[in-house]
Amino acid sequence: MSATARPDGAVKLAGAAVYGEDLDVPGMLWGALVLAPVAHGRRLSVDLSPARALPGVVAIGAADVAGLVDGGTGDPERPPFPSERVSYLQQPVAAVAAPTRSLAREAARAVRISVEPLPVATDLDDLFPEWPREKIEDPARVAAHVHARRGDVDGAFRDSATVVAETYRTASVHQVALEPHACVAEVTDGGWRVRTSTQSPFGAREDTASILGIPEAALVVEGTWVGGGFGGKGAAFLEPYALLLARAAGRPVRLALSYAEEFRLGRTTLPAVVRMETAVNAGEITARRVRLLLDVGTSLPGRDFATGYAIGFLLGPYRAPAFEVEGYAVRTNKPPFGPHRAPFAPQAAFVVESHLAAVARAAGIDPATFKARHLWREGDRTPFGQRVLPFGLASAFESARALAARWRSEAPPGQGVGIGLGFWSTSTGAGGEARVVLSPTELVILQGEREIGSGSVVVGLAQVAARRSGLPVEQVRVEYRDSAGAPFDAGVFGSRTVGALGRAVDAALVSLLARLGERLGSPGPVTLAVLDGEIVAVHGSGRRRVAELLTPAETAAGGLAADGKHYGRSGEIDESVVLDGAFYAFTDFTGAAHVAQVEVDPQTGSVRVLRYAAFHDAGVVVDLPSARAQVEGGVAMGLGAALTEEAIWSDDGRLENAGLVDYRIPTLREVPPIEVHFLEGFPGAGPFGAKGLGEPPIIPVPATIAAAVRDAAGAHVRELPLAPERVARELKFR
């Protein structure tokens, strides 16, 4: 399949692409959120009158949206506004809109807030200093509890020759999308309408309608170009506030976060503490015990499923005959936990890879040999009893080991080489639908997702259609429609765009080609081609111009249309091992092995990454340049999580580094040359056997860097990120 120039390249280079942050419509007001001054408090009282006294200012608070609080979701942390209790610092408690941006800020500052402060909980170690020896029994603290067990775990630990127990800590990391959340809302007699920068127009519509208590059909969501999402723009966030302000004002209202607000209010990955215990006998793992405390901020009791999802990544991708896992989603006074590219999987891979290497060393076995012996392979059962589908991780690991051996032979003292493994699964989401329209000159894919930057929409979907139809990809155009005009799709997240929405596009193409076949009277397969600038249908040795195959009505409507949908399902787990909570199965199995060569300063602990290689099983790659770019971007992002990125929360619940000065993402200087390799032969659940590639590239990175740091300097670091001070504490050669 041929590579293609990015169809969105020209409009973006010209500055003509309108992002949410660019929205500016005639007559609009500027909105601003009024934010809580404490991280935890009660008897909240918000006096909007000083703001309303300013010229042209509209202000809304809890009293103005009575009945909408809880938004039908039962979640007081969800918009619109809390009426009595504040749960995290800078939680929105009211909103204002004004004719200018500066007046909006002034109005927000003018609102008088009184609240009685309560003790603030932010730190897992402070909350549960004796865990896991102590039980966690305060139900208000626990948003979710998951527990599963298989086999005689206690017996295996008792009877095994080697037992290793370690505690790991991982940091809170932000998505750091270039574009903050931004939208413009309007409420007219015709209904509610919001233009917004979102990874999921339909998800935003569903959430927003639920919060506002209106039918979904009454709300139109139009996606703008998206300046990066990384999971942070997958659910409704500003849209309900903007719509409520617009209704109160009777004019369009623009609401956008500042970059500091983006850090402070954003839903992201929060800190975790992991206790890992592994028993080994005669070189074989006999049992594993995994315990997790996952900070989920103000997520509601019983409503958080992150824990069961996260813990699955702490067990795999290694076989263990007996295991016990127990995880708590712990509520703290931080914003609710939210998805960040492969939520918690990079952190989990760091823990699993570092721990099993330590276990192997304790048992006197080469870590790579030990890991390869236990790695999941096709046909194995996961700890939760799911059969492993085609899975290229073991092959990727073999390739990585060969390269690592070569790099290590070339590395001078002070440098080291490490390997890290990671696995993932393509999400189906709630499913997706697409329509294709074939005219005499082009094939158009109509669908409801905006390109978020990866190319998965504008290139990935086009490549699927090109491959199915036989057309050159340049003859395929992806056209966006708003939620009123597009068929449903779950969203651009979970590495699912090509894998799930691509299946819907493929199904639509199959249907379209079948109808052309009927018109041609051809029982055999029909493909499309271009002849003298016109599209022709090819069947056997014959060919007919598409123009001749369309009815007059179809010609008038722009072409022959066909619809496709894909509502996929993941596999099933063995529920007999589940003692409490929910665990999740995989749709397919995606794996990656990474290799890094680093230099560690033996006195300061500074780590420099010198070169990097990534071996990915991505099933069938539908667009090689986009796939390579995804891996390079994921590795760069992962280097941040590995080395420098860490949101620091003070004891009073304040995010201390709410900006790019002290929240350090890698710059190009910190990103080394990256080799990218794809392993073929392990098909996934997507079209033609494609697997999702949005998230997998970030997953092995912290594990890989940690392994390389240990190789270089003997430092076994059990905490992310591997900032110099942390590495220095573990240095053996000080």
Partner 1 sequence: MAPFELVAPATPDEAIAELGALGASDAVPLAGGTDLLFDLDDGRLAPRRVVSLRRLPWQTLDWNGPILTVGSTLPLRRLETDPEVRTRLPGLYTAVRAVGSVALRHQATLGGNLGRSAPASDLVPMLLALDAEIDLVGPQGARTVPVDQFVIGSRRTALRPAELIRSVRFPEPRPSAYLWQRVRPFRDISQMAVAVAYSPARARWRVAVAGFPPRPLLVPEVEDALGPVLPPARSDLDRGAHVLSTRAPIVGDKRASEAYRRQIVRPLLERAVRRASGEKAGS
Residues of the shown chain interacting with partner 1 in the complex, contacts defined by CB under 8 A: 102, 260, 414, 601-604, 606, 608, 643-644, 648, 656, 661-662, 664, 666-667, 669-670, 723-725, 728
Query: How far is 237 from 234, CA to CA, in rounded Å?
Result: 9
Question: Torsions phi, psi of 91, nearest 5?
Answer: -60, 135
707 CB contacts (<8 Å, ≥6 apart)?
Answer: 353, 354, 357, 418, 419, 420, 596
Count Cβ atoms below 10 Å from residue 24 Cβ, excluding itself. Answer: 11
In the complex, the smallest distance separating the C-beta of residue 603 from partner 1, rounded to whole angstroms, is 4
Residue closer to partner 1, measured from CB, 29 or 713: 713
- Name the residue nearer to partner 1 (CB basis): 102 or 551: 102
Smallest distance from partner 1 to CB 609, Å: 11
- Minimum gap (Å) between residue 604 Cβ and partner 1: 5
Helix (H) or strand (E) holding 593: strand 590-600
Minimum CB distance to partner 1 smaller for 135 or for 669: 669
- Of 610 and 648, the one with the shorter C-beta distance to partner 1 is 648
Pairing assessment for the beta strands 58-61 and 92-98 based on DSSP bridges: antiparallel
The residue among 141 and 664 lying less far from partner 1, judged by its C-beta, is 664
Q: How far apart are CA 98 and CA 732, in angstroms?
A: 60
Q: Which is nearer to partner 1, 272 or 713 (CB)?
A: 713
The helix/strand count (H/E) of the chain reads as: 19, 26
Q: In terms of C-beta density within 10 A (0-12 exposed, 13-18 middle, 19 or more buried), how is residue 607 classed? A: buried
Please identify, using beta-carbon distances, which residue of 573 and 636 lies nearer to partner 1. 636
With the C-alpha atoms ordered 609, 611, 616, 620, is the resulting torsion angle positive or negative?
Answer: positive
Kindly state the tokens that stand for 707: 């392994």
Both tokens assigned to 105: 């800020």
In the complex with partner 1, the residue whose CB is nearer, 473 or 643, is 643
Residues 732 and 714: their CA atoms lie apart, in Å, by 6
Please report how close the Cβ of residue 606 comes to partner 1 at its closest, in angstroms. Answer: 7
Query: How far apart are CB 730 and partner 1 at their closest, in Å?
Result: 12
Considering beta carbons, is residue 256 or 345 the nearer one to partner 1? 256
d(CA 227, CA 6): 16
CA distance 672 to 675: 10
- CB of 145: closest distance to partner 1 in angstroms? 34
Nearer to partner 1, 246 or 257 (CB): 257
Q: What is the token pair recorded at 89?
A: 């610092």
Contact 82, 94 (CB under 8 A): no
Query: Would you say 37 and 113 are in contact if contact means Cβ atoms under 8 Å apart?
Result: yes
| 588 close to 684: Cβ distance less than 8 angstroms | yes
Strand partners, 438: 443, 560
Supply the minimum distance, in Å, between the C-beta of residue 45 and partner 1. Answer: 25
DSSP string, 20-84: GGG---TTPEEEEEEE-SSSSEEEEEEE-HHHHTSTT-EEEEGGGGTTTTTTTTT-TTSSS--SS
Q: Which value, in Å, is the radius of gyration of the alpha carbons in the chain?
A: 27
The DSSP letter of residue 224 is -
Closer of 634 and 640 to partner 1 (Cβ): 640
Residue closer to partner 1, measured from CB, 576 or 603: 603
Cα separation, 94 vs 241, in Å, equals 9
* Nearest to partner 1 of 510, 610 (CB atom): 610
For helices 345-362 and 701-713, give the axis angle rounded to 10 degrees.
40
Q: Which of 281/606 has CB closer to partner 1?
A: 606
Least distance to partner 1, CB of residue 670, Å: 6
CA distance 39 to 93: 12
At closest approach, how far in Å is the CB of 16 from partner 1? Answer: 24
Rounded to a whole number of angstroms, the minimum distance from the CB of residue 717 to partner 1 is: 14
| Paired tokens of 35 | 């934010």
The residues facing 2 across adjacent strands are: none
Smallest distance from partner 1 to CB 651, Å: 12
Nearest-angstrom CA–CA distance, 554 and 336:
49
d(CA 723, CA 154) in angstroms, rounded, equals 36
Least Å distance, CB 662 to partner 1, is 7
Q: Record the tokens describing residue 321, joined without a space.
A: 């005959």
Residue whose CB is less far from partner 1, 279 or 728? 728
CB of 646 to partner 1, least distance (A): 9
Q: Report the nearest approach of partner 1 to the CB of residue 669 (Å).
A: 5
CA-to-CA dists, residue 477 to 438, 445, 454, 561, angstroms: 10, 6, 17, 14
CB 664, min distance to partner 1, A: 5
Between CA 487 and CA 433 the distance in angstroms is 5
